[in-house]
A and B are shown apart, each in its own frame.
Chain A
């Protein structure tokens, strides 16, 4: 068994450093300018798109960043993250419906539930690496899907949870435009948390484990425990996105737990650029917008297009958007010197 742990830099070893490092090494003004542009776009988004689509983009951005935290920075490809996204969506919906809590608390409850679920799944899954990790997480996510499907008294089965309230201390958020601005701070907090994790000493250890697990172990790091912690944190962030998604749609269907949702999250990350963190946000924006366009035009076989994107990205565009742009910037910068 070749024990290749996923290392995105491996695929392009002769090429410049990963997108994130390229940004981190860029001069200060470049980084602040990028941050300012990002925030400006986030603040403008619902004016340029349908607000409902903008809300979806925010939720998927959190989902993508959660998956990249594992795929790009820990070297683990979870193909079952719908389990956390979907569990949080259901728990958030149930808490909001039955307890009547303001929606941020319901989302928090959902994300915590996702994190709790991530403990046993992660504990078992980190016993395997590489492709096996993907298969194991996929299988456990399917288990969660079947349970939700059968547990009709709670999840309403195929009818889904209807009428999830958007309560925030009596403020009227039924308009998606205002709801977008209500969830934006939560999403930014989640993204900032992911950035903080990656740039913490803990995050550096994760990258060390990704690049050379044997060496990390030899240096005395408990590799499994680090991976499990990363898995639970990732589950929490994915849960944050899933909870907001449930409140945003005021409806939870079994789709949130389906394996296609897990796969979509991974391809969003690959499209944006593995190990670039913000690339996933770009990928999420593109894929959500594209699916919206397709469903509006009445095109039924969305899988044909997302599947096609999958194939094209994997065959021709493995570095992703952010990774390609960073590599280009790096080449320009080195030529000038």
Chain B
């Protein structure tokens, strides 16, 4: 029983990363119709930034947790203004290609400066050790990640459903033309929303730094899994993306624990689930059917 709880907990923690990245992808896609391939690269930059801030400037984890998302969010906004903006009227595939190119550039820039080996990042002292839950104890840092991510998702949900900004964002996601017709300046919100999505990726990166190996390629493989996650959840649905993120984290952890005879399971199960979803509900579990092709 305690083994099951442990696996479930670990699944939720890795699911938290998927959820944060999928959430960023989903809000960006909703507002701009851009699938941001570079999302994984910004996650990597978040982790690397935290590492560089700590080792070269002595900036602690807590400060990095604020500095990196804000800094990367601003960088994302600049990027949106500079290039992505020019391509949004074209087929979304062009922005996919553009951000793919950016991924290669960002990865290689970091590789040139810091090499490919992984760098360790120490867990902040406040969060080292473990929390005792009676039957078993969990590393404090992981409990923090899970709690923090859940809080963040709830906050985003609150902003989207309870505030005026959220209303505008939702309206322009669903019917950009109609929203414009009501006299709302949709274009004004595009850049901040893009920056916000990138900021979430950077935040996920900072959170990952003490837990995972910090190296230039850490985001690349992850983003492909997150793509599968958003196909499963339905990219148009923000709730679906987050739910699928946590769900896939759970399924992976359970698969790893109970099907350990098959070493491939933890890596490939997400793609198998995606194949099943495509057969059963091509639009994704929470997605709406596209107009018939």
The yes or no answer to B162 lying at the interface (CB within 8 A) is no
List residues of chain A with CB within 8 A of the CB of B241: none
Nearest Cβ on chain A to B24's Cβ, whole angstroms: 15
A124 to B107, CA, bound (A): 31
A124 to B271, CA, bound (A): 12
Does B112 contact A301, Cβ atoms closer than 8 Å? Answer: yes
A86 to B168, CA, bound (A): 46
Q: Give the interface centre of B83, B278, B292 by most chain A CB atoms within 10 Å.
A: B278
* Interface secondary structure of A, over-half rule: helix
Interface string of A1-32 (1 = CB under 8 A from B): 11111110011000000000000000000000
Which of A51-59, A61-69, A263-271 participates in binding chain B? A263-271
Does B101 contact A139, Cβ atoms closer than 8 Å? Answer: no
List residues of chain A with CB within 8 A of the CB of B220: 259
Does B293 contact A134, Cβ atoms closer than 8 Å? Answer: no
The yes or no answer to A333 lying at the interface (CB within 8 A) is no
Does A307 contact B103, Cβ atoms closer than 8 Å? Answer: yes
Q: Answer whether A310 and B100 are a contact pair too, CB < 8 Å, given A127-B282, A135-B227.
A: yes
The yes or no answer to A143 lying at the interface (CB within 8 A) is yes
The yes or no answer to A324 lying at the interface (CB within 8 A) is no
List residues of chain A with CB within 8 A of the CB of B227: 135, 138-139
Q: Which of A151-168 contact B (CB under 8 A)?
A: none
Nearest Cβ on chain B to A257's Cβ, whole angstroms: 12
Q: Answer whether A139 and B282 are a contact pair too, CB < 8 Å, given A304-B104, A307-B103, A310-B97.
A: no
Select one of B83, B96, B112, B271 contacting A134, CB under 8 A: B96
Does A315 contact B86, Cβ atoms closer than 8 Å? Answer: yes
> What size tier do the contact residues of chain B reach?
35 or more
Q: Which of B267-291 contact A (CB under 8 A)?
A: 267-268, 270-272, 274-275, 278-279, 282, 288, 290-291
Does A213 contact B293, Cβ atoms closer than 8 Å? Answer: yes
Select one of A77, A146, A300, A314 contacting B101, CB under 8 A: A314
Nearest Cβ on chain B to A171's Cβ, whole angstroms: 40
Nearest Cβ on chain B to A196's Cβ, whole angstroms: 27
Q: Answer whether A315 and B98 are a contact pair too, CB < 8 Å, given A146-B268, A150-B263.
A: yes
List residues of chain A with CB within 8 A of the CB of B271: 139-140, 142-143
A185 to B35, CA, bound (A): 40
Residue on B nearest A71 in the bound complex, by CB: B93
A194 to B125, CA, bound (A): 62
A7 to B274, CA, bound (A): 27
List residues of chain B with CB within 8 A of the CB of A3: 290-291, 293
Interface string of B90-122 (1 = CB under 8 A from A): 111110111011111101110110000000000
Does A307 contact B101, Cβ atoms closer than 8 Å? Answer: yes
Interface string of B38-65 (1 = CB under 8 A from A): 0000000000000000000000000000
The yes or no answer to A261 lying at the interface (CB within 8 A) is no
Nearest Cβ on chain B to A150's Cβ, whole angstroms: 5
A213 to B290, CA, bound (A): 13
Does B102 contact A311, Cβ atoms closer than 8 Å? Answer: yes
Does B102 contact A136, Cβ atoms closer than 8 Å? Answer: no
Residue on A nearest B289 in the bound complex, by CB: A1
Does A214 contact B292, Cβ atoms closer than 8 Å? Answer: yes
Select one of B91, B102, B108, B268 contacting A147, CB under 8 A: B268
The yes or no answer to B13 lying at the interface (CB within 8 A) is no
Hey, which bits of chain B sit against chain A, CB under 8 A? 33, 35, 83, 86-87, 90-94, 96-98, 100-105, 107-109, 111-112, 220-221, 224-225, 227-228, 230-231, 235-236, 263-264, 267-268, 270-272, 274-275, 278-279, 282, 288, 290-293
Q: List 6 A-B contacts (CB under 8 A).
A: A11-B91, A128-B231, A267-B101, A301-B112, A314-B98, A315-B87
- Additional pairs, 19, CB under 8 Å, beyond known A143-B272, A310-B97: A1-B291, A2-B33, A4-B91, A10-B90, A10-B91, A124-B279, A129-B293, A138-B224, A139-B271, A142-B225, A146-B267, A150-B264, A213-B293, A214-B293, A301-B112, A303-B105, A303-B108, A310-B98, A314-B87
Hey, which bits of chain A sit against chain B, CB under 8 A? 1-7, 10-11, 77, 79, 124-125, 127-132, 134-136, 138-140, 142-143, 146-147, 150, 213-214, 217, 223, 259-260, 263, 266-267, 270, 300-304, 306-311, 314-315, 318
